[in-house]
Structure 1
Amino acid sequence: MKNYAWVLEVRPGYEQEYKKRHDEIWPEMVKMLSEAGLRNYNIFRHGLTLFGYFETDDLKKSIEHIVKSEINKKWGEYMSDILKADIDPKTNFPYLLPIQMHLD
């Protein structure tokens, strides 16, 4: 299993709303992410910066499953008013960060 990370921004003043929406994440969204093969998925916030971390065995398959999902499209629309998303046009997924250090 490999690990991946992304960074997005929550719009100023929407920090608590972002947390609330994820506290109430739709069960069908959780199911879809699991079916996509994501494991150990966490999102951290520092100020307005959101740092997402996840693990998967097959990144390409996972991203394809997520971006083709109707529930992901609905979730994206639901979150669009409170996020500044930097999306990779090649994958329609947030840009993934290069690993700078790894320790087992």
Structure 2
Amino acid sequence: MQRLPLRTRLRPGCEETYDAEHARIPADLEAAMREHGVHSWRIYRDGLDLFHVVEVDDYAALQEALRDHPADIAWQRRMNRLLDGDFDKGSGGLALVWEM
């Protein structure tokens, strides 16, 4: 299993909308993510900065599986309007600098 940290950034003024949108994600999106190996996906927000921690069997395989999935396409459209730049599905995540 992979544990992958990701970072995204909100557009100013979108904080409350982003939080509200994530109060409940669509059931078909959650089902698709779980079907393709997501064990957990946590998002932490510090002002406009979003930090994701994804626990998944294979992140590259997940992204490939969701590329044309209608639930993910709809979700990305909803979320990308709130982000300062689109979510980078090809990101390998943040570089690990130190761990204890």
TM-score, normalised by the number of residues in structure 2: 0.86
Contact 2:42 2:52 in 1 (8 A): yes
Aligned to 1:98: 95
The Cα RMSD (Å) is 1.6
Contact 2:42 2:54 in 1 (8 A): yes
Q: Give CA-to-partner distance per residue, 1:66-94, whole Å, 9 cap, x none.
A: 22312111111112221123554xxxx05
**CA gap 1:51/1:25 in 2 versus in 1, 3 angstroms:** same
Matched position secondary structure for 1:32 = helix
Aligned to 1:71: 71
Matched position secondary structure for 2:4 = strand
Contact 1:43 1:52 in 2 (8 A): yes
Amino acid at match of 1:82: L
Identity among equivalent pairs (%): 26
- Distance in 1 (CA, whole Å) between partners of 2:90 and 2:60 is 13
Runs of 4+ aligned residues of structure 1 deviating over 2 Å after TM superposition are 85-88
| Alignment length (residue pairs) | 99
Structure 1 position 35, deviation (Å): 1.2
Listed as ranges, the gaps of 5+ residues in structure 1 are: none
Contact 2:5 2:53 in 1 (8 A): yes
